[in-house]
Each structure stands twice: as structure tokens, then as C-alpha cells.
């Protein structure tokens, strides 16, 4: 989850979690146990635009999959190296190294070994212009009986939306199933909408163990968290943003 410039829907503090807790349409989404949602698949493949999107959007589901010994592979499309473009303390080369290390530590806490992580280095902020290259990189990594999970095609972040399009194209080549999860959408969607703006969405109910694993994984992304040191940029994941992902469920849609 990286900051994005000049995107009106991703501006300001966004919708607080307290408003989502009162959302009628979110509460009314069909619910299923996360473990049951995984029935019948051979492998879960999570394609994440930036390191931490996978933990934010489906960290609990990843932990659930590994708890039942379902294979999980995580594909990190970019290294999130451009998240602090105006911060001398965080040049892209340094961020690339740091964020890969954070991703590996976070996924280890979710039960995913380092050898089940693919890093593609497509270029933070450049996914849309390199979409064809992403399709070509993803295609050999996917298998017919996979369920491939990625960010929502309507998430309002260009990298997230381009990743979703590329995943749909690559998965179609082998017949793999695709599902998506919102990340930035919780920042700008209306909790008071008269009906769900996420067609076909479901709530995947998490166990307490999966929630704990997700929280521990998110804490690994220190580069994205609050830092009060003088001269440091505003964090990508301040407490009010993290609150939107501290739920006992995750949302997926076809």
C-alpha cells in the first residue's frame, strides 16, 4: 500500500473505521468462514502490487491457508520503492532492500517461507505502463487449480488496478480462478451507500489465531508505520489507516 499523488479519491484521512463499523451494507455482506472459502483449491496465490498489500487485504486468509497446510505463493509485483519520493532518508535503492526484508519477515509470521515469494520488480508507480510485462511474468507462475487473489480492479490506486487487470489476463491463460480484495477502497467508499458497491463481495470470517498472525505481520512493515523522528515523512500506515484492517473478517469479491 503506497501513497499516491493527485488521486482525488485517495486524499486526506479518509473514512474512519468507526464509520465502517456502522455500515449497514458492509454488515449485510454474506459471510463464510475463511477456511471454508479455501475448500477445493490446490493452492492460494496472492499477487500484491506492493509489499504489505497482501497482509492488509488478506493476511488473515493467508494465515488460515497455512494453518490447514494449503500451499500459498506470494508474488510481489513491485518493491514499493517509490513510497517516499521526497525523503532523502528513504532513497528507492534503500527502500527496495528494506521492504523486501519486511515482506519476508511478515510472511514468515503468516506461515509462508521465503522460497514461496516471487519478487518481480516491475517498478513502483509504473505497473500500468508495464502491464504487458507483468502478464508475461505472471503467466508461468500460475496453475489451473490455483485461486489467485489480488487487489480490486476498482481500488482507485493505479498500481492496484493495473495489477488486477494483469492477473485477470494471466489467469485466463491457464484457467485459474481469480478473486480480489479492496485496500484503498476503505479510504474512499461510502459506508452509508444504500447497497453494496462491491458486487458479489463476501466477508471471510477469521479465527482469533488468524487475526493475531495478521496483526503481527503488519507490525513488521516498520518503514510504513508511524515515525515521529524529525524530518521523517508522514507514514503510509498511520494508526487510523491500520484500524481499517483490524477486523475479524476480510472482504473478497469475484
Which secondary structure element, helix H or strand E, spans residue 228, and what is its range?
none
17-252 maps to which CATH number? Answer: 3.40.50.10320
Cα–Cα distance for residue pair 200/137, rounded to 1 Å: 29
**In the chain, where are the structural domains located?**
17-252
Nearest to 110 by CA among 41, 60, 182: 60
Query: What percentage of the chain carries pLDDT values higher than 70?
Result: 94
pLDDT at position 1 is: 63
Cα–Cα distance for residue pair 30/39, rounded to 1 Å: 17
Confidence of residue 85 (pLDDT cuts 50, 70, 90): confident
Mean pLDDT score of the chain: 94
pLDDT exceeds 90 at position 232: no
Interhelix angle 131-138/158-174, nearest 10 degrees: 40
pTM: predicted TM-score of the whole model, two decimal places: 0.95
pLDDT exceeds 70 at position 250: yes
Taken in order 185, 190, 196, 202, the sign of the CA dihedral is positive
pLDDT exceeds 60 at position 187: yes
Confidence of residue 61 (pLDDT cuts 50, 70, 90): very high
Confidence of residue 228 (pLDDT cuts 50, 70, 90): low
pLDDT exceeds 60 at position 4: no
Which residues are CB-neighbours of 25 under 8 A, at least 6 positions away? Answer: 191, 193, 194, 195, 196, 197
User: pLDDT tens across 105-114, in order?
Assistant: 999 999 999 9
Q: Which residue has the higher pLDDT, 20 or 13?
A: 20
pLDDT at position 12 is: 82
pLDDT at position 236 is: 86
Nearest to 186 by CA among 173, 197, 171, 175: 197
pLDDT at position 229 is: 62
Confidence of residue 86 (pLDDT cuts 50, 70, 90): confident
Amino acid at each position: 500500500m503506497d501513497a499516491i499523488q493527485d488521486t482525488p479519491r485517495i486524499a486526506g484521512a479518509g473514512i474512519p473505521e468507526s464509520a465502517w463499523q456502522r455500515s449497514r451494507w458492509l454488515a449485510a455482506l454474506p459471510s463464510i468462514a475463511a477456511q471454508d472459502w479455501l475448500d477445493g483449491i490446490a493452492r492460494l496465490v496472492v499477487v500484491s502490487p506492493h509489499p504489505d498489500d497482501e497482509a492488509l487485504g488478506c493476511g488473515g486468509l493467508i494465515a488460515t491457508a497455512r494453518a490447514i497446510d494449503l500451499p500459498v505463493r506470494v508474488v510481489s509485483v513491485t518493491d514499493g520503492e517509490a513510497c517516499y519520493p521526497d525523503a532523502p532518508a528513504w532513497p528507492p535503492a534503500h527502500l527496495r532492500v528494506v521492504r523486501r526484508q519486511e515482506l519476508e519477515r511478515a510472511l514468515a509470521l503468516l506461515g509462508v517461507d521465503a522460497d514461496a515469494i516471487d519478487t518481480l520488480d516491475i517498478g513502483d508507480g509504473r505497473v500500468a505502463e508495464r502491464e504487458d510485462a507483468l502478464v508475461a511474468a505472471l503467466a508461468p507462475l500460475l496453475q489451473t487449480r490455483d485461486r489467485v487473489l489480488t487487489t480490486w480492479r476498482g481500488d482507485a490506486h493505479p498500481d492496484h488496478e493495473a495489477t488486477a487487470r494483469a492477473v485477470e489476463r494471466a489467469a485466463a491463460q491457464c484457467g485459474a480462478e481469480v478473486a480480489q480484495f479492496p485496500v484503498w477502497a476503505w479510504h474512499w467508499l461510502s459506508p452509508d451507500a444504500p447497497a453494496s458497491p462491491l458486487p458479489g463481495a463476501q466477508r471471510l470470517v477469521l479465527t482469533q489465531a488468524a487475526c493475531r498472525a495478521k496483526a503481527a505481520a503488519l507490525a513488521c512493515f516498520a518503514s510504513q508505520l508511524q515515525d515521529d523522528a524529525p524530518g521523517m515523512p508522514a507514514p503510509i500506515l498511520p494508526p487510523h489507516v491500520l484500524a481499517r484492517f483490524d477486523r475479524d473478517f476480510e472482504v473478497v469479491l469475484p
